[in-house]
Amino acid sequence: MTAALIGIDWGTSSFRAWRIDGAGRVIDAVTEGPGILAAITQPGGFEGALTRAIGGWLGAAPIIASGMITSRNGWVETPYLPLPLDLSALAGGLVAHETGFGRIHFVCGAISDRDGPSPDVMRGEETEIIGHLADSNPDGLFILPGTHSKWAQVRAGRLTGFRTVMTGEMFQLMRDHSILGRLIQPGPPDPEAFGRGVAAGGQGGPLLGRIFSARSLALLERLGPGQIADYLSGLLIGDEVAQCLADAPDAPDAPVTIIGRGDLADRYRIALQAQGVRAQIAPAGMAQRGLWNIAQTAGIV
Amino acid sequence: MTAALIGIDWGTSSFRAWRIDGAGRVIDAVTEGPGILAAITQPGGFEGALTRAIGGWLGAAPIIASGMITSRNGWVETPYLPLPLDLSALAGGLVAHETGFGRIHFVCGAISDRDGPSPDVMRGEETEIIGHLADSNPDGLFILPGTHSKWAQVRAGRLTGFRTVMTGEMFQLMRDHSILGRLIQPGPPDPEAFGRGVAAGGQGGPLLGRIFSARSLALLERLGPGQIADYLSGLLIGDEVAQCLADAPDAPDAPVTIIGRGDLADRYRIALQAQGVRAQIAPAGMAQRGLWNIAQTAGIV
């Protein structure tokens, strides 16, 4: 099979790449490789890491890449494009870089509220959202769960606003380093404890007070050591969902779209349902579809 | 000088003790010693640690102690007393324990919302608040800043509600272990960065989103590496103050009283002022005054 495009989604701690044919279909995929933090220290830097990961593919098709690989600590730092942002702006903003095996086209990141009190940035998620826009509803609210989850507002096929919430990182910090974390013991998944956490997360008052209440519940033996982690996960995701919905410019009438997979996507779906909001989980493949659409619009393929 | 009482405020990582005369005046003080986490591993445990810290005082006067020394990991675990809580209930709840150098009277902790969704507990702060009540306004809102700050509501001389907010611990977690923390460099105190943080802390939206904005501000070079810590401190304290004031049963008409000292008390005063709320910093000595008043009401002195 002949590839028309090689697409790469290269994040801080993740690497995924696809060979894509002339009809936009994925014909080969690599889902493991060094993230940029690992690649930067390897022999030959990013070029060496890429050669080891997908060397057999290189030279036969144009390459497009998105994600934190375009950040200051990445291979080529690309600008942040302002909102509202659409497919043609992303295609027009590609930054070409010559390498030993041909040209790589790097996608720009996006910036929200650059001069305001709470600026926000993304690199990679804009490509996944664009991927979704190409063949579905052009209006709506999107959530991309992760270490730093992204909430994105789309209107008429354009990215009009977004916000990053560091819920995943906070969960890890609390679990691994906090006084509360010392009480945590491993246990089987506990949907009931998660649900109690979601309910507590949707309540008012300071978040850092509600987190402390998890410790009180444990001290009072109303929360078992094996339940604390799921309760805390529910509390943090529940707070994120309640606060972001309250802060959204208008209540979502269409279902919210979750771009993500597995257990974490399910947790967000449950927390949205607890707020009376319907959610749908996007089909897999948003990153490669976005890369293809950007390349096609830019005339690379 | 003859002591009528030995008072001890013994916390997780702090130890303070006072010799108090028959008129309630402090005649001698020790402000350094092992907190309970350190004492528990020393030869002779708590009794050994106490002998080394204030051995020359012991045996000559009754002893009263409050703080985390009465917790499960402390010397003698005392119950939590329910709200509303006043001086006579604390005096009536003392738990006596015989030691090699006489009886120690341990003060009980306090519990809020025991069976509700967000129970909360304190050990030690109830004594400091009672200390304040003995000779000043019996109504009002009190803040005790610290690793886990306490907000306490007092009506007619009784503790009627409180909430713990883990702002101090969160600041340390973020500074020492987070992605944001990696951007922090030491710098001189920066009141302007702190004030910007306080303003961001008072805005709506998810707290963990506003914390992420500190990273964006740093990436955009709108916040210098030496300013990030003060900005983050302002953001966390500003959020705590805004949320706790919004959550208080009614807006404080009297000034809020801060029981604490130095830089941290000042930070809370500034954040309260930013919300249009007057604050006063309590005079020093609330813990020893509270211990004296409880002992006197209990008939120990």
Kindly determine whether residue A209 and residue B163, on different chains, have CB atoms separated by under 8 Å.
yes
Q: What is the pLDDT of residue A204?
A: 82
Length of chain A: 301
What is the β-pairing status of strands A80-82 and A109-112?
parallel
Set of chain B residues whose Cβ sits within 8 Å of the Cβ of A165: 206, 208-209, 212
Set of chain B residues whose Cβ sits within 8 Å of the Cβ of A121: 216, 219
Q: What is the pLDDT of residue A219?
A: 92
> Which run of H or E residues covers position A115?
none
CB-based contact A260:A283 (threshold 8 Å): no
Separation of CA B56 from chain center: 28
Q: What is the pLDDT of residue B194?
A: 98
Q: What percent of chain B has pLDDT over 90?
A: 82
Q: How far is CA B182 from CA A211, B122, B225, B237, in A?
A: 24, 33, 10, 21
Kindly determine whether residue A166 and residue B209, on different chains, have CB atoms separated by under 8 Å.
yes
A165 → closest Cβ in B170, B174, B206? B206
Q: What is the pLDDT of residue A175?
A: 95
Buried b / exposed e across A12-47, counting CB within 10 Å, b at 16+?
A: bebbbbbbbbeebeeeeeeeebbbbeebeeeeeebb
CB-based contact A28:A18 (threshold 8 Å): yes
In order of start, what are the domains of chain A with their CATH numbers?
5-136+292-298 (3.30.420.300), 165-281 (3.30.420.310)
What mean pLDDT value characterizes chain B?
Answer: 93
What is the β-pairing status of strands A5-10 and B63-66?
unpaired
Reported ipTM = 0.91
CB-based contact B39:B53 (threshold 8 Å): no
Is A250's pLDDT higher than 70? no
pLDDT digits (tens, 9 = 90+) for A46-105: 999 999 999 999 999 999 999 999 998 899 999 999 999 999 999 999 999 999 889 999
Is A13's pLDDT higher than 80? yes
Q: What is the pLDDT of residue B136?
A: 65
Q: What is the pLDDT of residue B261?
A: 84
Is A115's pLDDT higher than 80? yes
pLDDT digits (tens, 9 = 90+) for A202-236: 998 899 999 999 999 999 999 999 999 999 999 99
Kindly determine whether residue A117 and residue B165, on different chains, have CB atoms separated by under 8 Å.
no
Kindly determine whether residue B209 and residue A164, on different chains, have CB atoms separated by under 8 Å.
yes
Partner residues linked to A26 by β-bridges: A20
Q: What is the CA radius of gyration of chain A?
A: 21
Q: What is the pLDDT of residue B254?
A: 79
Q: Report the distance separating Cα B233 and Cα B266, nearest Å.
A: 12
Set of chain A residues whose Cβ sits within 8 Å of the Cβ of B220: 114, 119
> Please, which pLDDT band fits residue B4 given cuts at 50, 70 and 90?
very high
> Which run of H or E residues covers position B24?
none
What mean pLDDT value characterizes chain A?
Answer: 93
> Please, which pLDDT band fits residue A157 given cuts at 50, 70 and 90?
confident
Q: What is the pLDDT of residue A139?
A: 84
pLDDT digits (tens, 9 = 90+) for B29-68: 999 999 998 998 899 999 999 999 999 999 999 999 999 9
Alpha helices in chain A (DSSP H): 36-39, 45-54, 87-92, 125-133, 167-177, 191-201, 207-219, 228-247, 262-274, 286-298
A247 → closest Cβ in B205, B222, B240? B205
pLDDT digits (tens, 9 = 90+) for B256-293: 999 998 899 999 999 999 999 999 999 889 999 999 99
Is B226's pLDDT higher than 90? yes
pLDDT digits (tens, 9 = 90+) for A160-192: 999 999 999 999 999 999 989 999 999 999 999
Q: What is the pLDDT of residue B252?
A: 67
> Please, which pLDDT band fits residue A136 given cuts at 50, 70 and 90?
low
Partner residues linked to A150 by β-bridges: A144, A164
Tell me the mean pLDDT in the region B150-160: 93
Q: Report the distance separating Cα B204 and Cα A149, nearest Å.
A: 18
Tokens of B138: 């019996």
Q: How far B61 CA sits from the closest chain A CA (Å)?
A: 34
> Please, which pLDDT band fits residue B1 given cuts at 50, 70 and 90?
confident
Which residue is it, tokens 């972001």?
Answer: A244
Q: Report the distance separating Cα A189 and Cα A185, nearest Å.
A: 12
Q: How far B293 CA sits from the closest chain A CA (Å)?
A: 28
pLDDT digits (tens, 9 = 90+) for B111-128: 999 998 889 999 999 999
Is A138's pLDDT higher than 90? no
**Sequential DSSP letters for B169-228:** HHHHHHHHHSTTGGG----S--HHHHHHHHHHHTSSS-HHHHHHHHHHHHHTTSS-TTTH
Tell me the mean pLDDT in the region B211-237: 95
Q: Report the distance separating Cα B27 and Cα B61, nearest Å.
A: 13
Q: What is the pLDDT of residue A298?
A: 97
> Which run of H or E residues covers position B152?
strand B149-155
Nearest partner of B72 among B17, B32, B121, B145, judged by Cα:
B121
